[in-house]
Structure 1
């Protein structure tokens, strides 16, 4: 059975164009973007207030491209896209998209890199993508140079993006050794304009715009080839879906937070592209610091917070600080990248009763959003409804297609935003992107159910990664469910749940807990028993923490907030090997 968007969701206003670049789409009123007359400045620095209008940003792209063409020897209609690849390894900046689009002016490819990477991890991305140059920021320059020198990228092909925060003397020293974006723009303003691109029909659907790296469940991250049309399609899908709720609230344009890394698909497409396409203003912050975050909401009167679950927990646990700031402008809090538990949202609603809450679900491989929440149809349990143009199948654990509500299975998705595949990894591509009689689908690896919300609309509830489900005596236990419940206990500041092998049950859950400061002086054994009892009083016996409770300093997470349970499982296996036991 194929599931579709609810009846209230309109069709896409146009077929996603396949012969224009992302930048051309984003700056063309004829293709549906908010008129420039009604648009706010797309990006404003939340620390300094630095901002550009859309025409100013477009000119910066133009001048930057001219300078890069001269320095790198690139021409718009010569060579292949793979001859013109550069990386962006930086914290968020108002010039982040300016830099990404510069590659597209040459029909090239940009590859955003996770700012948390080590030099070795960055080296892997530079090598596998074939990057010939890189943009970074001052605080990441040392890491960058270790990686670029290891792969043979010359120092004069390392450029600097202005990100506030580094000492002025450090920034000045870096700019004397490496050209900055502003220096390149000044240089390009004196050069001749580039020749316009000459694209053939369908080139935007066939050609990668971005190489974004998916964390995967094992091994090194894989490069996902995301076409121009993939991003264009998802921007249209998100905008069309959310327009209904915005209209009911009388919203033409709004101000939203640009905190999540633009190197991550959530920050890149949902925030940086979809928001600015609708004429919204994105308040850019380079990293999460609670008081800076709160101050930006207060100063810029931010209305929508697109965040990840760890930030939601911080808002809950730091009311002594949050209450010092005026957050009355906030209307809608939206979470993605990982599920947020119903209990957590309930607790947050008691503090901020005027806020609405929604969630969404997507992947790098779907160029982000598959399902999302409209402000007029919220349901705490779910990740929303399918966006226009997307279809879903659920394959049950018996291998058959699910035809009933509330029946679990693996989610498969068909959408114009589903990407081209993995670069130089045919095996992974064939395993993930599959063909049925009705076309090409992506296997998400996530267990979901389709259910009817109180509104009567179909919603998708994401249970957890199938590979991470804990199987206790034939029952399936979702780590995310236990984590959400544990976070309601006052002793738990943060948590992750994994499976341990068990002779009798097959597997049992074990919780790793970051202890709340108020409990630091109490007996660890007593607190562990109290936490375990908290689960036993509310959950079925097969969900009890038979694997124990272990206190740790920090839960390993990706920059987007996903818990890296695999690292905890690897640590448990290492401990087991050391002790001589089996795991």
Structure 2
């Protein structure tokens, strides 16, 4: 098999191979991701710090708490294959819950605290959890589900009809039991069930195995050279997202690094935390990076950013202006980018140096042990370098499938393990991936993903709307926001505000419609699919 050393492309099978050093994977079949992470040797002292209060957990405290919580869960009857729901903002306790659940071979499913009761209800109905961990303030969002509840943090149980079974604080105090029943966990068993915004409306549960997460951990450790000593990471990313869960809540523990946790994203708190906790790594989404450039002089005068070595950007490729603008204002900080999907445990491609990031507009080179194909969407033919087609990925982090949704699984994963990403890309002569467009058309609002089909389905339930289409509208501050094209029923005088309010009442804030236009008809192709490209052109031609 001859592989071109420059691009990684192999002529004989039309596969692109990663140019990075393959990740070492454990050969023991009977291994869960919690045991894998906890058994890695390192010299780290403090695992998690709460940025607001300064409360922290040392590594011994984390692993003791994980043992205690797992023992309590086991006594409650939680077994391998059971699903446990976690509804919580980022906190230093979020990781303990995830690690405890996964150590038993049970499955963790997380959800965005901003989601509405209705949205969370759909996920509960689909994933069928047997227990939920949540905070007092978020309890009303799941109280109607009638699940047994473990409360996290401060609480007052008076007047609530919920079935409280314990508190996380009490569980963490328990002596870890010597004799509890342990199911044997295999690397192929399911570890996480995270919901990804589908393109066809309903979000789908992504089933990732212990093997997938172990490979994710190994990739992250290799990428940041964390074998050479500990670093301090600021966790700005939501832990309910795959990247937050697999890297910040769990994976980085394996290196002995310290994670400084922000319970919600707040610019001032994030910038203060860099100096206060000597943070070396800062993960961001592109709109925040732009804000750092635009306000650089004020920021540098007010905050100590001296310890910062790297910013990690994900969500969308960065332009030349943004990269050079950042490097000019912050010359001692390197800028690294990443590309991944929930379906690939957040792994796919990355730039691991400033030189690589200077391939402007790239998503990066293939992650270690990852293979890619560029496939012509119409014919299914695999294409060589510099040709645009759909990116397919195969590797150790690719999901097992979608939860109890065989149809969605077979349309996304083929029998050889190739995952169709829904992104139109090309790979250049040096093996850099460039994302040209999305086949899947998700709207990226501040790093959140908004499926247009979900909003369209909702709009069609309005009595005065005959047809609707939702498109991404470009915006410098947030990336993109949802814009709706509406066909009103004859004789109706529905207003733009009426449309926006109708949606705002039923969805999380990041999914709200922020611009409306009324049209006589929605352009569609012969098979009835909305021609979003035409609408995007129409919307942006007026800019």
The aligned residue for residue 199 of structure 2 is 217
Partner of 2:77: 73
Q: C-alpha separation between the residues in 2 aligned to 1:375 and 1:4?
A: 20
Give the Å deviation of 1:515: 8.3
The reply on whether 1:3 has 2:1 as its aligned counterpart is no
Deviation at 1:158, TM superposition (A): 1.7
CA distance in 2, matches of 1:184, 1:102: 11
Return the offset for 1:272.
Answer: 2.8
| 2:286 is the counterpart of 1:309 | yes
Spell out, residue by residue over 1:414-450, the C-alpha distance to the aligned partner (whole angstroms, 9 max, x if none). Answer: 1011111011111100000012xxx220000001111
Q: Give the equivalent residue in structure 2 for 1:59.
A: 64
RMSD: 3.6
Who is 1:184 aligned against? 171
The answer on whether the counterparts of 1:160 and 1:175 sit within 8 Å (CA) in structure 2 is: no
Q: Distance in 2 between matches of 1:553 and 1:293?
A: 32
Residues of 1 paired with 2:136 and 2:435: CA distance? 39
User: Who is 2:180 aligned against?
Assistant: 195
In structure 1, how many angstroms separate the alpha carbons of the residues matched to 2:171 and 2:192?
A: 22
Q: Deviations over 1:39-84 (max 9, x none)?
A: 24222111122222222111101112223333x333x5xxxx34x2
Of 272, 275, 287, which aligns to 2:264? 287
The corresponding residue for 2:146 is: 152
Instruction: Say if 2:47 and 2:57, in contact at 8 Å, map to a contact too.
Output: yes
Moved more, 233-242 or 123-132: 233-242
Give the C-alpha shift of residue 320 in structure 1: 5.8
Change (3 A) 1:339 1:424: same
* Aligned equivalents of 2:251, 2:323: Cα separation in 1: 25
Report what 1:532 is aligned to.
Answer: none
Question: Secondary structure of 1:3's partner?
Answer: strand
Aligned counterpart, 1:434: 414
Q: Which aligned pairs between 1:450-465 and structure 2 lie closer than 5 A? A: 450-452=427-429, 457-465=430-438
Match of 2:321 among 343, 353, 357: 343
How far is the alpha carbon of 1:210 from its aligned partner? Answer: 0.8
In 2, distance between residues paired with 1:16 and 1:95? 31
Deviations 1:107-133 (A, max 9, x none): 211111112111111111112111121
Aligned partners of 1:393 and 1:401 also within 8 Å: no
Contact 2:317 2:361 (C-alpha < 8 Å) held by counterparts: no
Number of residue pairs matched by the alignment: 462
Question: Once structures 1 and 2 are overlaid, which stretch shifts more, 315-324 or 126-135?
Answer: 315-324
Checking the alignment, whether the CA contact within 8 Å between 1:17 and 1:229 is kept in structure 2 is no
Partner of 1:423: 403
SS in 2 for 1:371: strand
2-structure distance, mates of 1:123, 1:46: 31
Match of 1:137 in 2: 135
Partner of 2:384: 404
Instruction: Tell me the residue number matched to 2:536.
Output: none
Cα drift, residue 255 of structure 1? 0.6
C-alpha contact 2:338 2:350 (8 A) present in aligned 1: yes
Q: Distance in 2 between matches of 1:582 and 1:337?
A: 29
Aligned pair in 2 of structure 1 residues 318, 174: CA closer, same or farther (>3 Å)? farther
User: 1:271·1:306 contact (CA, 8 Å) conserved in 2?
Assistant: no
1:300: how far off? Answer: 0.7
> 1:308-367 deviations in whole A, cap 9, x for unaligned?
122213323434652310112111111113333332222222211222112111111111
Q: Report the counterpart of residue 390 of structure 1 in structure 2.
A: 370
1:262 aligned onto 2:239: yes
Asked whether the equivalents of residues 10 and 241 of structure 1 are also in contact (C-alpha less than 8 Å), the reply is: no
1:509-524 superposed matches below 5 A: 511=473, 513=475
Q: Does 1:50 align with 2:81?
A: no
Taking structure 2 as the reference length, what is the TM-score of the superposition?
Answer: 0.77
Distance 1:445 1:227 in 2: 22
- Listed one character per residue, the Cα deviations across residues 437-487 of structure 1 (whole Å, up to 9, x for unaligned) are xx22000000111124xxxx4211222312439xxxxxxxxx99xx99xxx
Residues 506-533 of structure 1 deviation map (CA, whole Å, 9 limit, x = unaligned): x9x98454789xxxxxxxxxxxxxxxxx
Contact 1:215 1:222 in 2 (8 A): yes
State the distance in 1 between where 2:367 and 2:472 align.
36
Q: Distance in 1 between matches of 2:286 and 2:44?
A: 30
**Shift in alpha-carbon separation, 1:108–1:342, aligned structure 2, 3 A:** same
Matched residues in 2 for 1:308 and 1:218: separation? 25
1:64–1:175: structure 2 CA closer, same or farther, 3 Å change rule?
A: farther
Alignment deviations for residues 235-281 of structure 1 (CA, whole Å, 9 cap, x no partner):
112323443xx68xxx5211111121110011112333332222211
Aligned to 1:366: 344
Cα distance in 2 between the residues matched to 1:256 and 1:315: 18
In structure 1, the partner of 2:187 is 204
Counting helix residues as a fraction of each chain, which structure ranks higher?
1
Q: 2:230 aligns with which of 253, 273, 291?
A: 253
Unmatched runs of 5 consecutive residues or more in structure 2: 1-13, 453-468, 479-498, 524-543
2:280 counterpart of 1:318:
no
Deviation of the 1:563 alpha carbon:
8.4
Distance 1:106 1:175, change over 3 A: farther
Structure 2 CA distance for aligned equivalents of residues 513 and 385 of structure 1:
28
SS in 1 for 2:191: strand
Which residue of structure 2 aligns with residue 334 of structure 1? 312
Shift of 1:582: 3.6
Distance 1:46 1:16, change over 3 A: farther
